[in-house]
Amino acid sequence: MNKEIIRSEKLGEEYVKIQHPSGLTMLLCPMEGYSTSFAMFSTRYGSVDTCFRTNQQSEFMEIPAGTAHYLEHKMFESEEGDAFARYAQTGASANAFTSFDKTSYLFACSDNFKESLEILLDVVTTPYFTPETVAKEQGIIGQEIRMYEDAPDWRVLFNLLEALYVKHPVKIDIAGTMESISRITDQTLYRAYDVFYHLSNMVLTVAGNFAIEDVLEVADRVLKKGADIEIFRKTTEEPEQIVKSYVEQNLPVATPLFCIGFKSKDEGERKNFENMILDEMLIDLICGEMTPLYRSLYEDGLINNGLDGEVMASRDYICSIIEGESRNPKEVYRRLLAEIQKRKESGLDADMFERCKKATYGRYIGLYSKPDSIASVMTNTYFADMTLYELLDLVAGITKEQLEQRMRENLVEEHSALSVVSAQPMEG
C-alpha cells in the first residue's frame, strides 16, 4: 500500500493519498475540531462516455446516451433492498449525481462513520440489475426527461450547448432521450459498470471528523482487486466552428431567459481545468456586479436579477456561460460582445484585476473550510491530475497579461451563441 502526505506549507494543512491494494486511490483529509464527516466515491464516467473499449477488446463499443445516469439510479438497489433504508439505520444523509464527466456517490454523517462508509463502498461495488428492475426504471427516468423538457432553465442551457457543439456528446441531455433510454437493458448496464466502475478508474475522497485507520479497515474488508484493465474512450473531433449563433424556444415564462456561451479550444483535461479558473475570472472582470457593463445593463432595465456566470470544463471541452433574465436578450448579447472587444483593445483594468484575483483566491480558500467542499475539490483536482493545493498556487500565479491573452484567444464572437427561452418569439 503506497501512502503519500500532500502538504501545503502556505496553509499549514495536509491530506493523505493512499493507493489501496484493490487499485482504488483514496484521498483522506481528517479535520480537527469538526463534528461531521463527508465521503464521496466517484468514477471517471459521465454522460459523454458513450463509446469506449478496454485493452481486452479490439472494437469500440457504443452504448445509448443516458446510460451513466441510468446506472447511477440502479446502483442504489440490491437483493437486500434499497440503500437509502440502510443509510437510515446509521443516520447518514446520502445522495448521488451524474455529470458530463463523472458519477459520484456520497454521504454526510455526524455518527456511525464506519458503518456508513461500509454501505457506500458495498453499494457502489455490488451491482444488481435484472431485466424487470431495469424496465421499471425506464418509466421513472422517462418522467424525469419529460419534466426537464418543460423546464425553461434546463432548456435554455441545453439549447445553447446544441448551438455551440457540432458533434460532441456534451450537447445531449445527461439523462439521455426517450429513444435512447428505451434501448438500455440490464446487459447494457453491466457492460458499462464492468469498465467504468473498475476501482482503478475511481477515487474515494473523505474529509472531516474520521480516522484514517477506520477507512482502511473498511476498505480492506469490502474492496476486492479486479483484473487490470486500461480504458480507451473514443474522442469526438469537434470543429472550432459552432452550429448557429442564435436559438430560441417558446415556453411559459414571465421574463425571457437567456444563456450566452463562448466555445473554447480544447487543450486537454488539466489545461482545461486551469483555463476554467482564468475564464471564471474573465466573466467577473467583464460583466460581474462591480463592472461598468453590469451597471449599465441594470440601470437601463436590461437585466432583472443580475447575471450568473459559469465555466464548464472537462477532458475534451470547455465553454464559458453567462445567463440571466431580460426583456431584450439580444441587446444584452450585443453589449457584452462590444465590451469584450473594448477590453481586448484597451486591456483589463489593473485595479479591478487585483480585486478580482483576491476575491477569487478568497473564494477558493473558503472551500478549504468545509468537509463537503474539500472532498468535492479533491475529486475534481484528482481527475484533472492536480493536487488540492495546486489549485491555490494556480490562482496566486495568475497575471493580468495572462488573462488578456486568454480573452483575446477564446472570447471570440464567431465561437459564441445566444440561447433564449421566451413566452413568444423575440423581435429583431
**Model confidence over 354-365: pLDDT tens digits?**
999 999 999 999
Q: How confident is the model at residue 10, as a pLDDT?
A: 85
Rounded CA gap, 376 and 365, in Å? 14
Q: Is the pLDDT of residue 424 over 90?
A: no
Contact residues for 313 (Cβ-Cβ < 8 A; gap 6+): 272, 273, 275, 276, 279, 319
Average pLDDT over residues 363-376: 93
Contact 27, 382 (CB under 8 A): yes
Length of the chain counted residue by residue: 428
Average pLDDT over residues 112-130: 96
Can you tell me whether residue 184 is helix, strand or coil? coil
Nearest to 24 by CA among 214, 193, 203: 203
Percent of the chain with pLDDT over 70: 100
Which is it for strands 25-30 and 202-208: parallel, antiparallel or unpaired? parallel
Average pLDDT over residues 329-355: 97
Contact residues for 19 (Cβ-Cβ < 8 A; gap 6+): 1, 2, 3, 25, 26
pLDDT tens-place string over residues 46-99:
999 999 999 988 899 999 999 999 999 999 887 777 899 999 999 999 999 999
Q: How confident is the model at residue 224, as a pLDDT?
A: 94
Map out the domains of the chain with their CATH numbers.
Answer: 2-233 (3.30.830.10), 246-422 (3.30.830.10)
Contact residues for 366 (Cβ-Cβ < 8 A; gap 6+): 373
Among the ranges given (20-29, 130-139, 196-205), the one the predictor scored with the smallest mean pLDDT: 130-139
Q: How confident is the model at residue 428, as a pLDDT?
A: 63
pLDDT tens-place string over residues 252-284:
999 999 999 999 999 999 999 999 999 999 999
pLDDT tens-place string over residues 6-43:
999 888 899 999 999 999 999 999 999 999 999 999 99
Q: How confident is the model at residue 350, as a pLDDT?
A: 96
Q: Is the pLDDT of residue 382 over 90?
A: yes
Average pLDDT over residues 385-403: 94
How high is the mean pLDDT of the chain? Answer: 95
Q: How confident is the model at residue 306, as a pLDDT?
A: 86
Which is it for strands 246-250 and 307-313: parallel, antiparallel or unpaired? unpaired
Q: How confident is the model at residue 241, as a pLDDT?
A: 96
Q: Is the pLDDT of residue 316 over 70?
A: yes
Rounded CA gap, 181 and 70, in Å? 8
Q: Is the pLDDT of residue 427 over 80?
A: no
Query: Phi/psi of residue 319, each to 5°?
Result: -150, 150
Q: In 186-302, which ranges are E strands?
A: 202-208, 231-233, 246-250, 257-263
Q: Is the pLDDT of residue 330 over 70?
A: yes
Contact 44, 102 (CB under 8 A): yes
DSSP state of 255: S
Q: How confident is the model at residue 304, as a pLDDT?
A: 86
Which residues participate in catalysis according to the annotation?
72
